[in-house]
Structure 1
Amino acid sequence: MMKFSYYNPTRIQFGANTIASIATLIPKESKVLVTYGGGSIKKNGIYDQVKDALKDYEWHEFSGIEPNPLVETLDKAVAVAKEKKIDFILAVGGGSVIDGSKYIAAAALYDGEGWDILEKKHIVTKALPLGAILTLPATASESNPTAVISRKSTQTKLAFSSSAVYPKFAVLDPSAMVTLPERQIANGLVDSFIHTCEQYLTYPVGALVQDGYCETLLRTLKHLIERFNEHDDLLWQENLMWAANQGLSGLIGVGVPQDWATHRIGHELTAMFGIDHARTLTIVQPALLREMISDKAAKLSQMGRNVFHLPQTSDIAEKTIDAIEALYRSIGMPVRFSDCEITDPETPAKLVAALKEHNMIALGEKGNITPEISEKILTKAMR
């Protein structure tokens, strides 16, 4: 029986040439801090559009937020926000920039060490308001209350969530994708696909709307992967940007069990080896599905029928996992550690030790992925 509370206050401005609309969405008296990554927005024209839109504002900027944003970098932005008395954050980038900006918005109103937020020593109840201009669709961070932050000094990657860091608005301009490297687009595609799987590949609870919407998103993302050579087409970009947003903006996960073990384990791969987040997921997920197939057989079979259009056979669950893995391979994503040149047989044990250190000892929708099972999953991914 479903029981949930659904809330999403983020205004979506979707479509080409919508960046100028931020001038109507940020209060005129605001002191704005524009946050972004490595500077690609200065090459593709987005920076100039932001600059034009903010011509009547007092604004400052902070660049250099890296993929898998580091608290060591973000704390420098927090210092700027406090020094300049910033009262609005505008994140311009992908999920990492937006995640990092959520941390900045929360830590700017906290007098203690910002990492306390990630360790749950400080619960975020207030934050500076923020908006987002999305340049890389993947995580739906632009319209959800969650951020994942890394700490280089301890090789730790943790998440926090608070309704206080929901972006006030999100500009989704698909034309911003035009200069993205293929690797980043592929990462965004599979990240979105696996976000949806984490909320779908559990066990049946009769949630017809959520299942149906998940299957629509999965079919859409499968279609885009199969037509990856069309990624320069605006219609292709529009469909990815909207599908990625819907995959993790909260709607498909209400009232249903959720997994997230692939993400929890994947975070340790990023922290230890620096592998792109999405690529950790494609390494872990097939192995996890094979190890947990008895728990997930019903939903795997449903996905096989309704997403991959496989015939109902006694081994449809196994064939669905094979189809998922083949989909990732088709756009060059790794599905084994060896695809990332990681061959040390001690790797699974090292990663499990990190999981234990971060108290990731009861993962999955049933909490039954113990460290021992995590090691089996990781050992499968080594083969």
Structure 2
Amino acid sequence: MNNFEFCNPVKVVFGKGTIARLSALIPANSKVLMVYGGGSIKKNGVYTQVIDALKGFSVYEFSGIEANPHYETCMKAVNLVRTENIDFLLAVGGGSVIDATKFIASASYYEGEPWDILAKGGVIKQALPLGVVLTLSATGSEMNERAVISRIETREKLNFASPLIFPKFAVLDPEVTYSLPPRQVANGVVDSFIHVIEQYLTYPVNAKVQDYFAEGLMETIVEEGRKVLQNPDDYDIRANLMWAATNALNCWIGQGVPQDWSSHRMGYALTAQFGLDHAQTLAVILPGVMTYMCKEKQAKILRMGEVVFGVTEGTTEERVRKSIQACEDFFLYMGLKTRLSEYGIKESDLDLLVEPMKRMGWKLGEHGNIDYEVARKILAMRL
């Protein structure tokens, strides 16, 4: 196991009816900006629950956060924060709303061009405190210190991280996810599964706690993911998926182990250029990364195949192939496509997709051996 330092300060409030706890979680007399998306929270009752819980607070609202949050939209919220002297942010939504709120929290105090936080690694010295009411199980953003933002003007999608943007609290009520459309549910299942993969599917360093924890999360996500579309109102299924998604990316299983994240970074361009959902990009790219890097990842692929998908028979090469196929079959079962061509993307588009990697000089993967040329080969495998 590698050396590490670890602190996760997020308070989790989990279970039925927990939105009512907001008044005890936000500092008294706060001027609160509630940040949310396209208005679904007004249809499913979450908005009313939040407003009722915030009686006695000065509450402002900012809606319209996109499924892949836009820098341009976030900056409008930053202007509102500065104009109204907001001192607490409340994200009510899924990962996109939470990521946007984290950027708003950072940009509101940033001296200089806020895009530099993403494009140039600008140091965040101060950020507004924020809390979360989670409505979609997927990204784990409710319990981590990272976010991803897109800039429409330049068609870029970039990430940033800072310990100052850990939420102060995260309210997780599985019941609020009942009304989600099947596509969002499936995306959340696949997204959380691949979050685990990115931290697990590298090479062994004898980190048994992290490995067993990761394998348990994958087993849970696969088992409950196969059930949830047929049983959307089953509280236990929703609760297990929500808690698994949070644990998939709250920093715990990534401590002391090598991590990959190449599928995520390569997928940014698919979202920025072609508008694919985040999970859709991952379902396409991950099987290609596993196949291209199967020798480097062999030990972990074999272990994952055996524990998560029951792949135990055949030669080593056959078991590797079956394990990769089992992952792809799971994505297909959840209703996600796994080929670029199924989204109308052609070989002539590949240079555009790897251009950000070339320009930024990214070297991805746990060994830093996936440059833009290798990325192009992996994408070509997924046509």
Q: TM-score, normalised by structure 2?
A: 0.97
Structure 2 CA distance for aligned equivalents of residues 284 and 239 of structure 1: 26
Q: What does residue 217 of structure 1 align with?
A: 217
From 341, 345, 352, the counterpart of 1:338: 341
The answer to whether the 8 A contact 2:358-2:371 is kept is: no
Q: What does residue 355 of structure 2 align with?
A: 353
Structure 2 CA distance for aligned equivalents of residues 357 and 75 of structure 1: 25
Q: What percent identity do the matched residue pairs reach?
A: 50
Structure 1 CA distance for aligned equivalents of residues 207 and 246 of structure 2: 21
Q: What does residue 89 of structure 2 align with?
A: 89
SS in 2 for 1:29: coil
Q: What does residue 325 of structure 1 align with?
A: 328
1:374 Cα offset (Å): 0.6
The answer to whether the 8 A contact 2:127-2:164 is kept is: yes
1:338 Cα offset (Å): 1.8
1:288 Cα offset (Å): 1.2
Q: What does residue 377 of structure 1 align with?
A: 378
Structure 2 CA distance for aligned equivalents of residues 114 and 371 of structure 1: 27
Cα displacement string for residues 178-215 of structure 1 (whole angstroms, at most 9, x for unaligned residues): 11100000000000000000001001111000000000
The answer to whether the 8 A contact 1:89-1:101 is kept is: yes
Structure 2 CA distance for aligned equivalents of residues 30 and 63 of structure 1: 19
The answer to whether the 8 A contact 1:337-1:381 is kept is: yes
1:237 Cα offset (Å): 0.6
The answer to whether the 8 A contact 2:225-2:241 is kept is: no
SS in 2 for 1:90: strand
Amino acid at match of 1:29: N
Structure 2 CA distance for aligned equivalents of residues 142 and 54 of structure 1: 20
Matches within 5 A, 1:1-383: 1-120=1-120, 122-227=122-227, 228-314=229-315, 315-342=318-345, 344-360=346-362, 362-382=363-383
Amino acid at match of 2:350: P
SS in 2 for 1:357: helix
The answer to whether the 8 A contact 1:305-1:312 is kept is: no
Amino acid at match of 1:348: L
Cα displacement string for residues 131-190 of structure 1 (whole angstroms, at most 9, x for unaligned residues): 000000101101100010000000000111001010000000111101110000000000
Amino acid at match of 1:235: D
Structure 1 CA distance for aligned equivalents of residues 72 and 354 of structure 2: 25
Structure 2 CA distance for aligned equivalents of residues 71 and 337 of structure 1: 26
The answer to whether the 8 A contact 2:361-2:371 is kept is: no
Deviates more, 1:312-321 or 1:75-84: 312-321
Structure 1 CA distance for aligned equivalents of residues 268 and 121 of structure 2: 21
The answer to whether the 8 A contact 2:35-2:90 is kept is: yes
Where does structure 2 lack aligned partners over 5 or more consecutive residues? none
Q: Aligned-residue CA RMSD in angstroms?
A: 1.0
Structure 2 CA distance for aligned equivalents of residues 358 and 271 of structure 1: 15
The answer to whether the 8 A contact 2:137-2:246 is kept is: yes
The answer to whether the 8 A contact 2:357-2:371 is kept is: no
1:225 Cα offset (Å): 2.4
The answer to whether the 8 A contact 2:92-2:134 is kept is: yes
SS in 1 for 2:230: helix
Structure 2 CA distance for aligned equivalents of residues 239 and 119 of structure 1: 36
Structure 2 CA distance for aligned equivalents of residues 2 and 265 of structure 1: 26
Deviation beyond 3 Å, 4+ runs, structure 1: none
SS in 2 for 1:13: strand
Structure 1 CA distance for aligned equivalents of residues 107 and 260 of structure 2: 29
SS in 1 for 2:269: helix
Structure 2 CA distance for aligned equivalents of residues 266 and 138 of structure 1: 16
Structure 2 CA distance for aligned equivalents of residues 15 and 45 of structure 1: 16
Amino acid at match of 1:201: L
SS in 2 for 1:78: helix
Structure 1 CA distance for aligned equivalents of residues 149 and 215 of structure 2: 30
